Amino acid sequence: MPHKQVFLTAEWSESWKASYARLSIERQAACDQAVIHLIKQTSSPGLRIKPIQPDKYYLEARINSGDRIVFRVQEGTVSFIDVVQHDDISRYGKRPSRRG
């Protein structure tokens, strides 16, 4: 019997939307493919998903040699936080501080 596909619910931050809009059409297409793999929870050898050091609060997924998706998965929802250059990934190495 075929395996039933389970999709994660997806949400996109304002940072994600702004960063995505700045990508070229080709880079958006590559990002779209990576996002679909993450939502469908399917593997792709190029994604190279790993926690962002040191706090491991966020995860990163590789889009191409330079671009990374910053995201979190909790309770059946994947939260897309940002799209950044590889060299900027360290911005997401720490857990966000609680305000209020």
For 52-82, what is each residue's pLDDT tens digit?
Answer: 999 999 999 999 999 999 999 999 999 999 9
Identify the band that residue 2 occupies on the pLDDT scale cut at 50, 70 and 90: low
H-assigned helices in 1-100: 14-22, 25-40
Q: What is the pLDDT of residue 54?
A: 94
Its pTM stands at 0.90
Give dist(CA 27, CA 30) in Å, integer. Answer: 5
Q: What is the CATH number of the domain that holds 30?
A: 3.30.2310.20
pLDDT above 70 as % of the chain: 94
Closest CA to 66 of 85, 47, 90, 89: 85
Residue range of the domain that includes 61: 9-92
Q: What is the pLDDT of residue 27?
A: 96
The number of folded domains in the chain is 1
| Mean per-residue pLDDT, 20-46 | 94
Beta-carbon contacts of 52 under 8 Å, excluding residues fewer than 6 positions away, are 58, 59, 60, 70, 89, 90, 92, 93
In a domain, 88, yes or no: yes
Q: What is the pLDDT of residue 45?
A: 82
The Cβ-side half-sphere exposure at 21, using a 13 Å CA radius, reads 7
In a domain, 3, yes or no: no
Task: Give CA torsion, residues 56, 13, 35, 3, to 10 deg.
Answer: 80
In a domain, 4, yes or no: no
List phi, psi (to 5°) of 47.
-65, -40
